[in-house]
Amino acid sequence: MCLLAATAADAQPGPGAGGPPAVGVMSAERRPVTESSEFTGRIEAVNRVDVRARVTGFLQERAFQEGQEVRAGSVLFRLERAPFEAALEQARANVASAQAQLENARVALQRARELRQTGAGTQVALDNAQAQERTASAQLLGAQAAVRIEEINLAYTEIVSPIDGKIGRATLTPGNVVSPTLAEPLATVVSQDPMRVAFTVSTRAAGELRTRYEGRGGAAAVLVRVRLPSGQIYPQPGRIDFVDTQIDRNTDSILIRALVPNPRRSEVPVGQPGDRELIDGQFVTVSVEGTEPVQAIVLPRASVLQDQGGNYVLVVDAEKRAQRRPLRLGRSINAEVVVEDGLQGGETVIVDGLQRVRPGQPVNPAPAAGAGPPGAPPAGPTAANRQG
């Protein structure tokens, strides 16, 4: 009997190897989350002007330093003026000649009228005098217009910047002949502050962004942040100012642009290379963030499992059994992921020891490292929802 009793006692499950597996758990509580979606973008100047000659002439002077910032109206190049000044003087001489011819035609017209009134002149002579007077008047107008054209051409010998911005390299040096038909511009000026960041978004991602923010103010509820190629976050946020009206049929994406301030850097002398952080044509990573955090459930990425049915987690029910909960997830960053649907908040989620648990199996829950007791708000940094 004693032997049978001892054998029966040994068969009872205990807290050892035959008991429920120990698991680490945390409470799925809502906390402030800054939503963020990431895209690849390119920096663009708001204004970009190719500087070209308006007349043909010899390039006499370059009046700027390559890479410097220029003001609208400042002289960039000077062409040889002498040929244009001579053409202007010739046009003015033609005006004087046309003026003399007009005065002579008016005297002849007046004489023809007097003769016609006295009967000594014919109607034909009067008509001819009137036609000559009108012809002389038209010739004077044409000569005056030619003067205006030559004045404009002379003014074009000074090539000025049409905008404020930074000027690039000069393609020609003084001594070359320039003309409006040159294939390359003489230089290019790009505006500096603000700059635009342009990025394309798939139609699916654009729909998700619209759904997420339209009830909070649309584009006004969004900040655009730029991460530079070095990995540094650019400190000046931007605002969306343009969403294209057409979908690119080749990529099924839509273009979005945002304005981003680009002030001078205080640590770099004005006019020196790198005095502004953003450069036209620069590739960057664009982060579209909500201006206000939202309350969302955030879980460690390691706690989320996946099978043919999709993403899910195991939660501990009131009877200390593991139960499956299917999830719809947002994008993850680092080691955390935002839960968009599937949990209401307050559930006890298994985060450690998942490999030892199956749905419906009893478990022995204990707070996971850094998670606090079940039911307590989770600790840790705010997560973000990223769109890859």
Q: Name the more confident of 169 and 7.
A: 169
Q: Name the more confident of 5 and 157.
A: 157
Task: Read off the pLDDT of each residue in 264-293 and give the average, rounded to a whole number.
Answer: 82
Of the pLDDT bands very low, low, confident and very high (cuts 50, 70, 90), residue 381 is very low
Cα angle 254-386-350, degrees, rounded to a multiple of 5: 145
Q: What is the pLDDT of residue 52?
A: 95
Domains (ranges, CATH) in the chain? Answer: 37-47+191-290 (2.40.30.170), 49-77+159-190 (2.40.50.100), 81-156 (1.10.287)
Q: What is the pLDDT of residue 299?
A: 84
324, pLDDT greater than 50: yes
Of the pLDDT bands very low, low, confident and very high (cuts 50, 70, 90), residue 4 is very low
154, pLDDT greater than 60: yes
Rounded to an integer, what distance in angstroms lies between the CA atom of residue 195 and that of residue 280? 8
Mean pLDDT of all residues belonging to the chain: 84
Q: What is the pLDDT of residue 331?
A: 64
Q: Of 12-26, 117-131, 330-344, which gets the smallest average pLDDT? A: 12-26
Task: Read off the pLDDT of each residue in 101-116 and give the average, rounded to a whole number.
Answer: 87
Long-range pairs for 241-246: beta carbons < 8 A, 24 or more residues apart: 241/196, 243/219
70, pLDDT greater than 60: yes
Of the pLDDT bands very low, low, confident and very high (cuts 50, 70, 90), residue 117 is confident
Q: Among 9-13, 288-292, 337-341, which range has the highest average pLDDT?
A: 337-341
Q: What is the pLDDT of residues 213-272, one digit of tens each?
A: 777 777 777 889 999 988 889 999 999 989 899 998 998 999 999 999 999 888 777 767
Distances (CA, A) of 307 to 313, 349, 361: 11, 18, 18
372, pLDDT greater than 80: no
23, pLDDT greater than 90: no
Of the pLDDT bands very low, low, confident and very high (cuts 50, 70, 90), residue 370 is low
Q: What is the pLDDT of residue 84?
A: 95
Q: What is the pLDDT of residue 8?
A: 38
Q: Which distant-in-sequence residues (6+ apart) come within 8 Å of 86 by Cβ?
A: none
377, pLDDT greater than 50: no
Rounded to an integer, what distance in angstroms lies between the CA atom of residue 108 and that of residue 125? 10
Task: Read off the pLDDT of each residue in 40-49 and give the average, rounded to a whole number.
Answer: 94
Of the pLDDT bands very low, low, confident and very high (cuts 50, 70, 90), residue 35 is confident
Q: What is the pLDDT of residue 10?
A: 42
Give percent of the chain with pLDDT exceeding 90. Answer: 41
Q: What is the pLDDT of residue 17?
A: 53
Q: Name the more confident of 117 and 84.
A: 84
